[in-house]
């Protein structure tokens, strides 16, 4: 069995040195978005987020939090989805990119 590892963590983005200003609320929003998505699509091994969950710098997604399909989705589409939010201004709750990738995974 593979050792549990961190896939992504909020502080990796909020504390990263950049030559431009980043909207931390947008980072918190997309973490809430991906955690919600993984949970509602049955890709999480446990509850990741609830209405009262506060996203902060310690929020993370680990491999042990996800099913095999969830891990595969993160490998195939997470980066592209985040880029759409950060670079193109897409809504963090627009799941089209993730849905398309998940459909391809499930229909193989």
CA distances from 5 to 34, 35, 52, 72 (A): 17, 16, 25, 14
- The answer, yes or no, to whether residue 19 has pLDDT greater than 90, is no
Please give the pLDDT value at position 18.
60
DSSP string, 28-90: HHHHHHHHHHHHHTT-BSS----TTPPP-TT-EEEGGGB-HHHHHHIIIIIHHHHHHHHHH--
Please give the pLDDT value at position 95.
97
Total-model pTM: 0.89
Tell me the per-residue pLDDT of 33-91, one tens digit each, with 9 for 90 and over: 999 999 999 999 999 988 778 899 999 999 999 999 999 999 999 999 999 998 899 99
Q: What is the mean pLDDT of residues 90-94?
A: 95
């Amino acid at each position: 069995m593979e050792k549990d590892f961190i896939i992504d963590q909020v502080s990796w983005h909020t504390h990263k040195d950049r030559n431009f200003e980043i909207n931390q609320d947008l980072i918190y929003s997309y973490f809430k978005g991906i955690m919600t998505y993984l949970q509602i699509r049955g890709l999480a091994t446990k509850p990741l987020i609830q209405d009262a969950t506060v996203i902060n710098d310690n929020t993370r997604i680990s491999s042990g939090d996800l099913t095999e399909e969830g891990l595969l989705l993160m490998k195939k589409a997470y980066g592209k989805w985040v880029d759409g939010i950060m670079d193109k201004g897409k809504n963090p709750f627009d799941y089209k990119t993730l849905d398309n990738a998940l459909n391809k995974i499930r229909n193989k």
